């Protein structure tokens, strides 16, 4: 089935009605990257707007479904269905795999696609390569949290990355693009080769701050005003609250690094309470231990809208489960950019049975 670059309007339903049949486009990773390159500030705004729509009840975001394998216990594929209203107005699903063994061969751990559905007809109108979309929405969410949660306290000057993979790289890119100029950057990874490669990337990126690879996790945490956890940990491995005695801001992006003792000693902000309390996250383990959700202080939307403020003299932990509505918001942004450029590649004749009775 040929994929030909043809101009297409941003409204798939209008296009379908005009042509008499729905269309279906494929958006490649190269197109996604070009649509997002240099748009970090805009993407933070897109993600914050999606959080506000979600907080206002103008979205549907059911629990993610995990496909696991008895013969590959470290691997998983996750389905994130969602619907978001407002100006975005799109339904869809992200299908993202995590195969940590890939890194041994130099292949990225995660791969993903995003399907966008028209909210009127239900027909899918686009399939987008989504590892870049997923990393971008994660980084935009993290940077939004870093900005909002650091207000009212000294701006972090020492940023530490616990985990040196793709997400760490994207978070650094978004921090730099949104005006963060740390004096020092720390790196720790259980793989010395990964830590060294990330250090080289940071030094070559032309960013601010001296880069230090730390010999152990305690040194990294104790060094940092802002700690970014971006690992593939499946269970808590950081147990001592005293590591956080200097009260840093913690972006707990990988969700399972911190033991309940650490969360109970901190102010905890999440993206969605129900979502974060499942799938063996640190937050769920803490709820199971205490029988209570009182350790959760609110959501990022609560912070964005001023319903919740965080104290300056406590460790603050942001634990985002990762909402499908964010993928839809960024994915629709990409689709509209590619459509406006006239480079949308439509799969001719993708839908075949379009008459009810043949």
CATH number, domain containing residue 294: 3.40.50.720
Q: Identify the pLDDT of residue 293.
A: 97
Residue 127 sits in the same domain as residue 275: no
Mean pLDDT of 241-245: 98
Q: Are strands 345-347 and 3-5 parallel, antiparallel or unpaired?
A: antiparallel
Q: What is the CATH number of the domain that holds 336?
A: 3.30.1780.10
Residue 129 sits in the same domain as residue 145: no
Instruction: Flag whether 285 is in a domain.
Output: yes
Residue 32 sits in the same domain as residue 180: no
Question: What is the domain count for the chain?
Answer: 2
pLDDT tens digits along 312-329: 999 999 999 999 999 999
The residue range of the domain holding 292 is: 140-322
5: Cβ contacts below 8 Å, ≥ 6 apart: 342, 343, 344, 345
Q: Which residue has the higher pLDDT, 16 or 200?
A: 200
pLDDT tens digits along 7-26: 333 444 444 444 457 899 99
Residue 28 sits in the same domain as residue 57: yes
Instruction: Flag whether 38 is in a domain.
Output: yes
User: Over 80: is that where the pLDDT of 4 sits?
Assistant: no
Q: Percent of the chain, pLDDT > 70?
A: 94
Mean pLDDT of 196-224: 93
pLDDT tens digits along 27-42: 999 999 999 999 999 9
pLDDT tens digits along 106-153: 888 899 999 999 999 999 999 999 999 999 999 999 999 999 999 999
Q: Identify the pLDDT of residue 46.
A: 98
Residue 62 sits in the same domain as residue 175: no
Instruction: Flag whether 354 is in a domain.
Output: no
Contact 216, 241 (CB under 8 A): no
User: Over 60: is that where the pLDDT of 279 sits?
Assistant: yes
Residue 355's pLDDT band (cuts 50, 70, 90): confident
Q: Identify the pLDDT of residue 16.
A: 43
Instruction: Flag whether 161 is in a domain.
Output: yes
Residue 256 sits in the same domain as residue 333: no
Q: Identify the pLDDT of residue 15.
A: 44
Interior/surface letters 187-216, b for 16+ CB within 10 angstroms, e for the rest = bbbeeeebbebbbebbeeeebebebbbbee
Instruction: Flag whether 216 is in a domain.
Output: yes
Tokens of 180: 């963060």
Residue 230 sits in the same domain as residue 122: no
Residue 252 sits in the same domain as residue 169: yes
Residue with tokens 């479904």: 65
């Amino acid at each position: 089935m040929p994929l030909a670059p043809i101009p297409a309007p941003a409204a798939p339903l209008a296009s379908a009605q005009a042509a008499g049949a729905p269309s279906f486009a494929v958006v490649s990773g190269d197109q996604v990257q070009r649509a997002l390159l240099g748009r970090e500030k805009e993407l933070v705004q897109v993600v914050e707007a999606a959080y506000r729509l979600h907080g206002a009840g103008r979205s549907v975001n059911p629990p993610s479904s995990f496909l696991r394998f008895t013969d590959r216990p470290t691997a998983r594929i996750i389905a994130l269905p969602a619907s978001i209203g407002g100006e975005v107005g799109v339904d869809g699903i992200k299908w993202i795999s995590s195969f940590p063994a890939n890194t041994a061969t130099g292949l990225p751990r995660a791969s993903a696609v995003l399907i966008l559905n028209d909210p009127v007809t239900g027909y899918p109108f686009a399939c987008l390569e989504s590892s870049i979309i997923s990393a971008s929405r994660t980084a935009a969410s993290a940077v939004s949290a870093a900005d909002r949660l650091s207000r009212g306290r000294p701006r972090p000057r020492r940023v530490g990355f616990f985990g040196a993979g793709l997400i760490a790289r994207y978070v650094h890119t978004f921090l730099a693009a949104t005006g963060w100029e740390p004096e020092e950057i720390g790196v720790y990874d259980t793989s010395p080769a990964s830590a060294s490669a990330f250090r080289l990337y940071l030094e070559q990126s032309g960013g601010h701050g001296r880069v230090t690879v730390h010999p152990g996790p305690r040194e990294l945490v104790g060094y940092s005003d802002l700690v970014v956890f971006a690992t593939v940990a499946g269970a808590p491995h950081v147990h001592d609250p005293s590591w956080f005695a200097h009260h840093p801001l913690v972006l707990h992006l990988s969700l399972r690094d911190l033991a309940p003792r650490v969360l109970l000693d901190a102010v905890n902000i999440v993206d969605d309470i129900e979502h974060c309390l499942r799938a063996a996250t640190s937050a769920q383990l803490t709820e199971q231990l205490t029988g209570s959700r009182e350790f959760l202080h609110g959501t990022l939307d609560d912070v964005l809208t001023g319903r919740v403020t965080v104290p300056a003299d406590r460790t603050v932990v942001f634990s985002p489960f990762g909402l499908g509505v964010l993928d839809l918001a960024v994915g629709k942004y990409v689709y509209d950019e590619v459509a406006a450029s006239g480079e949308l590649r439509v799969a001719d004749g993708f839908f075949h049975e379009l008459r009810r009775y043949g």
